[in-house]
A and B are shown apart, each in its own frame.
Chain A
Amino acid sequence: MTQSPLVESIESAETEGTLTGGRAAAADPAPVGPPSVIRTQGLTKRFAGGQLAVDGLDLTVPRGSVFGFLGPNGSGKTTTIRMLMGLIAPTSGVATVLGASMPQSVGSVLPRVGALIEGPALYGFLSGRDNLVRYDSADPTADPRTRARRVGEALDRVGLTAAAGKKARAYSLGMKQRLGLAAALLQPRELLVLDEPTNGLDPQGMREIRALIRELAGEGTTVFLSSHLLDEIEQVCTHAAVMSKGRLVVQGTVPELAARAQGRLVVRTPDAARAAEVLAAAGVSDIRVAEGRVDGEPATAGDEPLPGLCAALVEAGVRVRAFGVERGTLEDAFVALTGEGFDVAG
């Protein structure tokens, strides 16, 4: 599944048996046109201790997407990000970022990439502003003449201008997170890699950061967002991939993935037992009967069989109070795919 475009990789993930259930909704296949910003082929990292952190990862991040990177703690997300940023060398496989392979091309690639990796790291004895000056000085492509202006703009963007003169050690976790984001925004970037960017922020701060991410995406920056907050991914991402135990479980557009959490047909009726019989006869599987409610999986996805089912129920004398399909959320998909929710992977 290495070279295949996005949808095909979903299909092959499916045929590997990691997925059951309906096909992806007939969402349009990702066009082959725009080159991918990140592409890994068989990316593998085995640490010195023998622990396999990332196992044969084939990841494709299309240009212009807001790409959600999901997985339980310990599933290999951060190790993957570190390999993409050239901080650690892969044991085998290839990681390509902005068309050049990592870690060989860090010098030409990373000035175009802003990154927030495993939370912010700051010089506590420097002010917020001086921290940004320090990080900007590290980039040999950054122009020292425009440094003060760019630092000021980055501080503005994350709302830290008022606290810019304060020593970073006096910052709250949320302010540190904002400063880390500002460091990623010191230059216009083609790619932003954000590892749990809303960590430690209050709800208002989270909304601001999400708004900022949408804005940046609107400017044409591809955003690679790792998170374990599913609603965050659902709110801001166009694409997503799910990792579990070092392997990629699935990747695709967010609507496709949410569609994987097969919507369930829900009928509310006082005649639950009768309704269950009718639905079973009509080919609905996995039927669960509860007090005043029956739900199950229609044989085919989509809305097409629904009118027929409804008619069959009414014909059989079932008193239908409500009838409809409850859409799956990304969280359902996630739990179905990883089968483990958010427990730390061994």
Chain B
Amino acid sequence: MSQVEVAPTVSPASMASMASMAPTVSGRVPAGVRPQTAAGFLALFRSEITLTFRRTRTIALLGLLAALPVLLGVVVKIETGDMHGGANGPAFIAQVTQNGLFLVFAALAVALPVFLPMTVGVVAGDSIAGEAATGTLRYLLVAPAGRTRLLAAKFLAAMVFCWAATLAVALSALATGAALFPMGSMTLLSGDTVGLGGALLRAVLIAGVVALSLAGLVAIGLFVSTLTGSGIAAMATTVGLVILVQILDSFPQLHAIQPWLFTHQWLTFGDLLRAPMYWTGILQNLGLQALYLAVFGSAAWARFTSRDVTA
């Protein structure tokens, strides 16, 4: 141990003198149940969100997501001459050259199937398992964080991350789009034209829908996270599940189960680019996410509140 830093500040004598200043010494330690306060209850939620964004890993993931629209924008700018409509490229790519705002939708459409779920899988998958692996879970539980409260805080923090991740893509795309392409009133998929303000409003709405689309995945990630004591295993499993589900979604033979896959309706957010907005698919998507949240949230809760914490 580094004596230089620690030892001079405490000899047993100085410890004793410090203790004699402490208020507890004069009387006995107060006994009895201490009441829980609302501020105290909410502190864990705040702590959890702060903790998520103080990890270098989180910042790196957000940086990765922010780099994606830039790459996309530059590629489109360079290859402008070769664009033959959206048939082969990702959705909305063809419109980007006419209006930079479309880069927001194109970037979200590219990020949603792979990159966003990957980052969300890392954050949600690691949430409980990572704490178990480092041993901090046992100290949170004896604090006592309360297992249900801790799980709720983890879910909230992961949802905040989904929102931040979507925002990172959208804002970076907006900036890149504005820098590389003309901005202005936008022609919607239905052929109507809306002004820049209206278009931005739709962008905000879409970002919100995309973030909420990830709720089901967060619940799955949390559940997987309660199953193992290894953060890496939980992350890999969650991300692997996303890939597996999207592969299943591409087989025509599995037509019967596809409406129930959590990724199936993800790209319906494009329906908000019509006038009037077409909500059926989006509501179905959000309903599906709520269903996954209920099922996997309950499973995570049942598992976590009954499990022996031996790590």
Contacts and interface: CB of A to CB of B under 8 A. Distances in A.
B309 A139 contact: no
A219 B29 contact: yes
24 contacts: A87-B141, A87-B142, A89-B308, A112-B33, A118-B138, A119-B135, A121-B139, A124-B134, A135-B143, A138-B47, A139-B145, A143-B39, A153-B22, A159-B9, A159-B15, A172-B1, A175-B1, A180-B139, A189-B29, A205-B6, A205-B7, A211-B12, A212-B19, A219-B19
B43 A190 contact: no
A144 B41 CA distance: 10
A107 B146 contact: yes
B272 to A, nearest CB: 38
Given A138-B140, A141-B36, A123 B51 contact: yes
B37 A86 contact: no
A211 B44 CA distance: 33
B255 interface: no
A219 B25 contact: yes
Interface of A: 82, 85-89, 106-108, 110-113, 115, 117-119, 121-126, 133-145, 147, 153, 156-163, 172-175, 178, 180, 183, 187-190, 201-202, 204-205, 207-208, 211-212, 215, 218-221
B84 interface: no
Interface in B270-311: 306, 308-310
B204 to A, nearest CB: 32
Given A125-B54, A140-B41, A220-B29, A157 B19 contact: yes
Interface string B110-150: 00000000000000000000000011101111111110011
B18 A157 contact: yes
Interface residues of B, number: 56
Contacts of B9: 159, 161-162
A173 to B, nearest CB: 7
B2 A175 contact: yes
B147 to A, nearest CB: 9
B79 interface: no
B88 interface: no
Given A188-B24, A207-B12, A219-B19, 8 more contacts: A82-B309, A136-B143, A142-B40, A157-B15, A157-B19, A174-B1, A175-B5, A211-B15
Interface in B221-237: none
B195 interface: no
B77 interface: no
A159 B136 CA distance: 22
Contact of A135 (B139, B146, B150): B139
A88 B33 CA distance: 22
Contact of B310 (A82, A158, A175): A82
Contacts of B28: 219-220
B253 interface: no
